[in-house]
Structure 1
Amino acid sequence: MLSGEAQWADVVRGLAQRVLGPVAESVRLGGLDGEGRAHAYEAKGGVLTIAATDGVSASVALHHYLREHCGMSVGWDTVLPLPLTSLPDAPLHEGTPRVREGYYFNFCTFSYTTPYWDWADWESEIDWMALHGITMPLAVTGHEAALHAAYSLLGLDDDQIRSFLGGPGYLPFQFMGCMDDFAGPLPASWIDRHRELGARVLERERAFGMTPVLPAFTGHVPREIAATARAGSRNWQGFETWSLDPADPLYERIGAEIARAQIKLFGTDHLYAADPFIEMIPIDADPAFPGAVAAATLAGLRQADPDAVWLMQAWPFSYQRDFWTEDRVTAFLDAIPDDRMLVADLWAEHDPLWRQFDEFSGKPWLWCALLNFGGRTDPVADLRGVPAGIDAALAAPSPPTGIGLSMEAIRNNPVFFELVTDHIWNRVPDLDAWLDAFVAQRYGGRFTEELRAAWRGLLATVYGAGGLRIAPDQFKGVLTAEPSYTRTPTGPLWYDPAVLARAWERMIEVAERDPGLTAGPLGHDLAEVGIAFMARVADSRYLDVVESDGDPGQADRFLKVFEDLDRMLSCRPEYTFQHWEAKAVSWADGPADAAVLRDNARRIITVWGTSESPLLDDYAGRHWAGLMGGYYRDRWELWARGFGRPDAEAELGERLHERDELFLRAGAPPLTPGDLATESRNLFTAYASELDRGAR
């Protein structure tokens, strides 16, 4: 079956060692002849032999074997190495993917999840990517070094460039052209250290046979350059930036300089991501103007890389439908040769644009699932809609060349993202059967029937959001909403809360019987489902306060929800604000750096921008310990104590502003973690009877 040692064998061998521990010595790897991606594996006498065309295909084969023959999967929360002492026999299995590429990441992910990751975090994530069939990851880490090098050549000094780049936690929004000179300046040490980290990430991705997508110029320039060029101002969520007119020769020149600097630092796989209109109307309303931007963007890239292919997110066509008419979209797409552009249909699980725009006028395109905006931590999805949506796209006259995940943040709702990535290699004709297998493999075959029953309850509730628009403005809920006397922030409730309560109780019962399981995926799931459970309680108790016109007793009952949820969440580090802030500050080189990093970490998950601007306030709100019992509880206490006062809404706004400023300065107090199973049981015992009241 093997055709000799493969170039990718060492990197897959390293992955196998991290996943399997000593048992990895019994894995044999080799090349597989043929066009495209493919793999084959067989296990005999305790030896697993994998042949593949590339490292990703070999990794998918390993994961398929583990799931089908060992009953274990590798997720974001799996404790590694797996508890295997030998490798069971397996007959010959051969596989080929349904699509050529598996796409991964969104620019926003690099602000909402990964900004403070170190190499250990990235190594784990790249392993996950390989095991799940990701072949085309967006690679943003370290791009600021390329911008610094390019703008230095264009005459700007170090202070001007670092000021333009702004705070490290907001860099991806800078790269998209949405903002500059905010929450910074960028620490000098950050650039060098992330240039090295970005290069290491790319080296590992390429070793697996992935083709990373690097950022490209969007027309966005520093004010110093805009002042002497043909440029226009734009506004994104209250942030003003400057964009060059594509008719100015500087547009192509700067695009080429940035691409050259990036190639010198990081090499290239000839794929470049640029979104010159991401949530911003073009600076010129002429219908031909977007096409001129497209032509200049590609021309700049091709000066540096004649083989450049531009990947663009189709998000503007959805976000600003009034501007992006069918004629405008067609004119824009027609300005680029079909073999020079790849279009990512970013929110295809809810708003598939491929139908509206005739599979993007012949351009290769990617079917992408977004689901998560800003890093929301509550579980919600329409699982049943995924297989039908992907199958319909693959049956189109011009089907997608890839399937991707374009969530704004990761490490949430793993069932949804695992379901999407499974479609890269396999069709899922029966979701219930798929879910049964997912549950058994997720927990290593332990307490399978009890946990399957729990997940059937989740499928009937939070994961059965068929036809609903899953976005922050609709799904914020009381817990992370800004208090108001004139707005009711409770979200839609399409299921019986008692069914959700019973599903959570089943998980708690398993955790009590086998506490060791809470160190892995079960711990994540207990916290995630607990958030959904307590969110319904909070919504209900909020209404009790409103209906009682601010009765102090009802207010105290409402505020206790925040305190109790905070205590439960403190049991999992990834559900704590302190973990997030500590990761940020770990990159500091001195007090000044620490101040910027600490501010960025606090700001983006609360007020987002400035406390005076409400446009993105709470957009990335997290159900995290340190926030629930502190930041959010304190805001709602101000609201609860203000009922009946003259000018209550105006006074509340002032006091919330003061509270925001206090948090940005002081952060959250230290936590004392407890036992997750115990704290979950305490919450369930205290609150389950309230959900019997059902939807209100």
Structure 2
Amino acid sequence: MKLRIRLLTFILSVSSLVLSANPIEGLLERIDKGASRKFVIELQKGDKDFFELDRKGQKVVVRGNSYVNIATGIHWYLKYHAGIQLSWNGMHATLPPLLPPVLQKERHDTSLSLRYDFNYCTYSYTMPFWDWERWEQEIDWMVLHGINMPLAAVGQECVWKNMLLRLGYDKEEVNRFIAGPAFLAWWAMNNLEGWGGPNPDSWYVRQEALQKKILKRMREYGMKPVLPGYSGMVPNNADEKLGLNIAKPELWNGFTRPAFLQPTDSRFAEIAALYYREQERLFGKSDYYSMDPFHEMGNASSVDLDAAGQAVMQAMKRVNPKATWVVQGWTENPRPEMMKNLRNGDLLVLDLFSECRPMWGIPSIWKREKGYEQHDWVFCMLLNFGGNVGLHGRMDQLLENFYLTKNHPLATHLKGIGLTMEGTENNPMMFELMCELPWRPDEFSKEDWLKDYLFARYGQRDKTVEEAWTLLANTIYDCPFGNNQQGPHESIFCGRPSMNNFQVSSWSKMQNYYDPTVTEDAARLMLEAADRYRGNNNFEYDLVDIVRQAIADKGRIIYNRTIADFKSFDKRSFRRHSQQFLTMLLEQDKLLGTRPEFMVGRWIDWARRAGTTGKEKDLYEWNARVQITTWGNRTCADEGGLRDYAHKEWNGILRDFYYKRWAAYWQTLQEQLDGKPARPLDYYAMEEPWTLEHNAYPATAQGDCIEVAREVFGNVFGKQGE
């Protein structure tokens, strides 16, 4: 009897272990309580990545050779069979009591087995203050979109803190080296030291615990997290402090950069081993390590690049002989001299901007005649820079580049796709398109795909909505070949005022490529359909975003009229148009307050919630405010080139930051028209006070988004478009 009880207990415990080891059930329950009972999940072996949709009685069967592929199949079913799309603006859904049946078994497979996610910048422009609840949603988003190889950069500062302490640095010195939460990405990429810090002890405790949860969930799904590796970065004073042979790069946008430990230094292997030992103790080993020596470094003539590549690779291989070095293909990196003597399979290159400036394949300003030579690589979409807000895409170019590359007889080293955006939670259409490409073997038209996308996103087919999105797909989402702009068409409301405002950030390389009145037409069509979609979360998010874009485009037109009035000495028209511009800016602020995704209060709330004391909350809020405005100190803001790089067309900051700059500027021009001498404006003196404030902003939606959108649109454009 006792033996039977023990055997039964053992069987039950094993069954419980198997059940708990299946992460798909938890995923389904987070989507909708009770959803797991409506699906049958079957994990099977397969030579290629695949998922299948089938049915068993009234349940939907989803098969796949990994949990990630099964989750991808679930989302495919929800989108194209049930009209339910899970997106950053909504990761929950109400499933019908009886799911629509799969009428015919459906299979999708792919040879592109690596699907990468994240840029180091994403961790600072979007994620610096996320907690576990938000990270859990993001990991769910990843598996539903087929991602199996995400960069896992949370907590890397914990590894560095421990390593530096062991090397003999004291706590104060460590804190002078490691950047604050909103600037960790550029510290990790060897661009700056210390800016935004010092971090309190509680920050390291928080991030260590958070990364452990993130990695645990990623590994449960069978993902292969990419951990930051060691490529030679050391503090700028490591020559004096540790007696190391280092190279000191030039300043980066006004910031002192970390130094680069020469690979020929006798202690390179020792320090690299110490780094990996501390990382393994905290977060375990990985099959992929991300390292980007010489990132935006310019002249690297003082470094033996071949020796550097060998030293970095050897240090990684000592930790895990099976590991692969992941490196970003960006500007002059990876240096050909660095990778020439590395073996195929040991290096994986992320072609960071494949939809616009690929280094392999079609002509581009960055094309390399020999591509990445013997090394494996990933076709990536960057799309967003700085986390800027704006509709933008290269639908035709993305499709053409992808299929030309994928089917090229010389593309034998293409291993997958990647999402390498600097900021996320925007332009969901482009990310849906990109994530589906591996599962669609044959090229397709954007027109046919768009119709199915809209059914998936809104749950029904609607000619008016299709007409609106077709306008957008053929204009603002059709950035053409030869246009190399970085990210969306920037809102003029966010620019530092001048007589020749065009792009907001100094790096955007904007060019006009679409008729700005088209977004007004699309917004009008969306408003016409809006009452049919009340309560539809995806539609309401898109409605606000499209009306926002239309107002931003109109703002650019009114700006140019106002400048023309000034140059024509037309005082009456100048007064009217300058006031119209300011009024539109405030209308935009009101509109964006109806969705939390477009509110500076949510960003600041995330920052303050990361702190455990008032002092910590204030530090993190300062990080959050500075990053999206001045980025740095006066020198950086006025001369360094990063001011407004991460600008946000958001509720709250529009009226309290951008409005003040424009009101002051128009006033100086009005004074000149009234015969007074030109008065220079010290913009940094206006900007810095906002970064130091702690005034509260709402973090939750204010008002009915459809009614407010209709009201604001009428105020800006006239109810009949007059």
TM-score, structure 1 normalization: 0.92
* Per-residue Cα deviation, 1:167-186 (whole angstroms, up to 9, x for no partner): 11111111111111111101
Q: Give the match for residue 419 of structure 1.
A: 433
Question: 1: distance between equivalents of 2:697 and 2:38?
Answer: 45
User: Pick from 460, 467, 470: which aligns with 2:481?
Assistant: 467
1:667, distance to aligned residue in structure 2 (A)? 5.4
Contact 1:537 1:691 in 2 (8 A): no
Report if the CA contact (8 A) 1:19-1:80 is conserved: yes
Distance 1:482 1:250, change over 3 A: farther
Structure 1 CA distance, aligned partners of 2:279 and 2:133?
24
Structure-to-structure mapping, 1:445-594, within 5 angstroms: 445=460, 448-467=462-481, 469=483, 471-472=485-486, 475-485=489-499, 488-489=502-503, 492-517=511-536, 520-549=537-566, 551-594=574-617
1:526-547 residue CA offsets vs partner (Å, 9 max, x unmatched): 2221221111111111112211
- CA gap 1:271/1:489 in 2 versus in 1, 3 angstroms: closer
SS of residue in 1 equivalent to 2:557: helix
Q: Which residues of 2 match residues 129-148 of structure 1 at below 5 A?
A: 129-148=142-161
Query: What amino acid maps onto 1:51 in structure 2?
Result: R
Structure 1 match to 2:702: 673
Q: Which residue is 2:5 aligned to? A: none
Moved more, 342-351 or 199-208: 199-208
**Structure 1 residues 335 and 482 mapped into 2: Cα distance closer, same or farther (>3 Å)?**
farther
| Alpha-carbon spacing, 1:407–1:377, altered in 2? closer, same or farther (3 Å) | same
Q: Deviations over 1:538-583 (max 9, x none)?
A: 1111112211217333221111111110000011111111110010
What's the offset of the Cα at 1:392?
A: 1.3
Residue 290 of structure 2: which of 249, 273, 277 is its match? 273
Structure 1 residue 684 displacement after superposition: 1.7
Question: Paired residue for 1:240?
Answer: 256
Cα contact 2:533–2:539 (8 A) shared by 1: no
Amino acid at match of 2:254: G
Opposite residue 124 of structure 2, the aligned amino acid is S
Structure 1 distance, partners of 2:649, 2:269, is 44
Query: Which amino acid is 1:673 matched to?
Result: Q
Query: 1:197 corresponds to which residue?
Result: 210
Residue type at the aligned position of 1:363: H
Render the CA deviation track for 1:230-262: whole Å, top value 9, x for unaligned. Answer: 112222222112222221123332222212211
CA distance in 1, matches of 2:560, 2:353: 33
Question: Structure 1 residues 167-176 or 40-49, which shifts more?
Answer: 40-49
The amino acid of 2:690's aligned partner reads F
Mean Cα displacement is larger for which, 679-688 or 166-175? 679-688
SS where residue 289 of structure 2 aligns? strand
Q: 1:484 to 1:218 in 2, by over 3 A?
A: farther
Report the Cα distance in structure 2 between the residues aligned to 1:649 and 1:292, rounded to whole angstroms.
57
* Amino acid across the alignment from 1:641: Q
In structure 2, C-alpha distance between the alignment counterparts of 1:502 and 1:134, rounded to whole Å:
36
Deviation string, structure 1 residues 472-516 (Cα, Å, up to 9, x no partner): 599334211111235555864433333321211222233334321
Q: What are the Cα deviations for residues 419-478 of structure 1, in whole angstroms up to 9, with x where unaligned?
A: 011012124412111110000110122x63222122112112211222253535993342
Contact 1:8 1:207 (C-alpha < 8 Å) held by counterparts: no
Aligned AA for 1:244? Answer: L
CA offset digits 1:605-651 (Å, max 9, x no partner): 00111133231000011110011122111111111111255998872
Q: What is the distance in 2 between the residues matched to 1:151 and 1:285?
A: 25
Deviation at 1:284, TM superposition (A): 2.6
Q: What SS does the aligned partner of 1:42 have?
A: strand
Counterparts of 2:62 and 2:40 in 1: how far apart (Å)? Answer: 6
Distance 2:500 2:452 in 1: 47
User: Secondary structure of the equivalent of 2:248?
Assistant: strand
Partner of 1:206: 219
Please list the CA deviations of residues 74-128 of structure 1 after superposition, one character each: whole Å capped at 9, or x if unmatched.
Answer: 2222351333211232132222124111110000000011111111111111111
1:120 is aligned to 133
Q: Which moved more, 1:168-177 or 1:468-477?
A: 468-477
Q: Which residue of 2 aligns with 1:59?
A: 71
Against the structure 1 CA distance between its residues 263 and 561, is the aligned structure 2 distance closer, same or farther, given a 3 Å change threshold? same
SS at match of 1:354: coil
One-letter amino acid of the counterpart of residue 382, structure 2? L
Equivalent position amino acid for 1:663 in 2: W
2:688 is aligned with 1:661: yes
Contact residue 111 and residue 171 of structure 1 kept, 8 A:
yes
Secondary structure of 2:633's counterpart equals coil
Alignment partners' CA distance in 2, 1:34 and 1:414? 30
Match of 1:309 among 312, 320, 324: 324
Give ranges in structure 1 of 5+ residues lacking alignment. 319-323
Identify unmatched segments of 5+ residues in structure 2.
1-14, 362-366, 505-509
Partner residue of 2:364?
none
Q: Check the 8 A contact 1:344/1:367 in 2, yes or no.
A: yes
Call closer, same or farther: CA 1:28–1:83 in 2, change over 3 Å.
Answer: closer
What amino acid is aligned across from residue 619 of structure 2 in structure 1?
V
Q: 1:469 to 1:268 in 2, by over 3 A?
A: farther
Match of 2:382 among 352, 355, 370: 370
Q: What is the aligned length?
A: 674
- Contact 1:497 1:692 (C-alpha < 8 Å) held by counterparts: no
Q: 1:638: which partner in 2?
A: 664
The residue identity in structure 2 corresponding to 1:189 is S
Q: Helix, strand or coil: the match of 2:116?
A: strand
Query: Compared with structure 1, are the counterparts of its residues 161 and 359 closer, same or farther at alpha carbon in structure 2 (3 Å cutoff)?
Result: same
Instruction: Check if 1:70 corresponds to 2:85.
Output: no
CA contact (8 A) 1:8 1:55 kept: no
CA contact (8 A) 2:150 2:223 kept: yes
CA distance in structure 2 between the aligned counterparts of 1:404 and 1:27, rounded to whole angstroms: 29
Alignment of 1:40-55 (within 5 A): 40-55=52-67
The verdict on how the C-alpha distance between 1:506 and 1:210 changes in structure 2, with shifts beyond 3 A counting, is same
Tell me the CA shift for residue 300 of structure 1.
Answer: 2.1
Q: Deviations over 1:131-170 (max 9, x none)?
A: 1110110000111111112112211122221221121111
Return the match for 2:107 from 83, 94, 99.
94
Determine which of 456, 459, 466 is the counterpart of 1:444.
Answer: 459
Query: Shift of residue 6 of structure 1?
Result: 7.3
Q: Are 2:385 and 2:487, in contact at CA under 8 Å, matched by a contact in 1?
A: no
Cα separation, partners in 2 of 1:468 and 1:187, compared to 1, 3 Å: farther
Maintained 8 Å contact 2:80/2:455: no
Aligned in 2, Cα 1:482/1:627: closer, same or farther, shift over 3 Å? same
Structure 1 residues 618 and 467, CA, compared in 2 at 3 Å: closer, same or farther? same
Alignment match, 2:175:
162
Partner residue of 1:111?
A: 124
- Tell me, in whole angstroms, the C-alpha distance in 2 between the residues paired with 1:127 and 1:379: 24
Percent of residue pairs identical: 27
Provide TM-score, normalisation by structure 2: 0.89
Counterparts in 2 of 1:681-692, with a 5 A limit?
Answer: 681-688=710-717
Seen in structure 2, the aligned counterparts of structure 1 residues 583 and 474 have a Cα distance that, compared at 3 Å, is closer
Question: What is the aligned partner in structure 2 of residue 321 from structure 1?
Answer: none
The 3-state SS of whatever aligns with 1:511 is: helix
CA contact (8 A) 2:392 2:489 kept: no
Flag the 1:10–1:474 CA change in 2: closer, same or farther, 3 A.
closer
Question: Residues 630 and 688 of structure 2 are in contact (CA less than 8 Å); yes or no, is this contact kept in structure 1?
Answer: no
SS of the counterpart of 2:634? coil
- Equivalent residues of 2:387, 2:422 under 8 A apart: yes
